[in-house]
Amino acid sequence: MAGELPIAVSVALALEYEDVLLRPAMLAQGWANREQVLAVLDNVLARALLVQPIRVRRRPALLDPGDDLVLECAVEAKALAIITTNIRDFAGASERYGLRLMKPGDLVAELRQEME
């Protein structure tokens, strides 16, 4: 749909998101309960491009195996960028795979500039 940002996700990455967001420590922060987290996750995943199967395993490429899932999905989807607050842990991915690494706030600022 016009005006929407495409999101790519693999089955493994979707399961990783669910695992992280439903951890007791995350839920204890009180920003959302289990049902709300699942509702938001279902909504996001329903709009995402499913990247499957991952044809070329790139693991281990980064220090965190969860970050490897993000990287593999982005490369397989031929994404232009990875949007994350975790830029530091993706060191080298930008140069090696030609991906932009952006913080969410930087993406919002760039989109605002394009709309002007």
Q: Rounded to whole angstroms, how far apart are CA atoms 75 and 114? A: 25
Beta pairing class for 100-102 and 81-83: parallel
Least confident of 1-5, 32-36, 93-97: 1-5
- What span, in angstroms and rounded, lies between the C-alpha atoms of 49 and 69? 15
Instruction: Write down the pLDDT at residue 51.
Output: 93
Distance of CA 19 to the CA centre of its chain: 14
Mean pLDDT of the chain: 90
What's the pLDDT band for 52 if we cut at 50, 70, 90? confident
Question: One-letter amino acid identity for 80?
Answer: L
This prediction has a pTM of 0.82
Closest CA to 87 of 111, 70, 110: 70
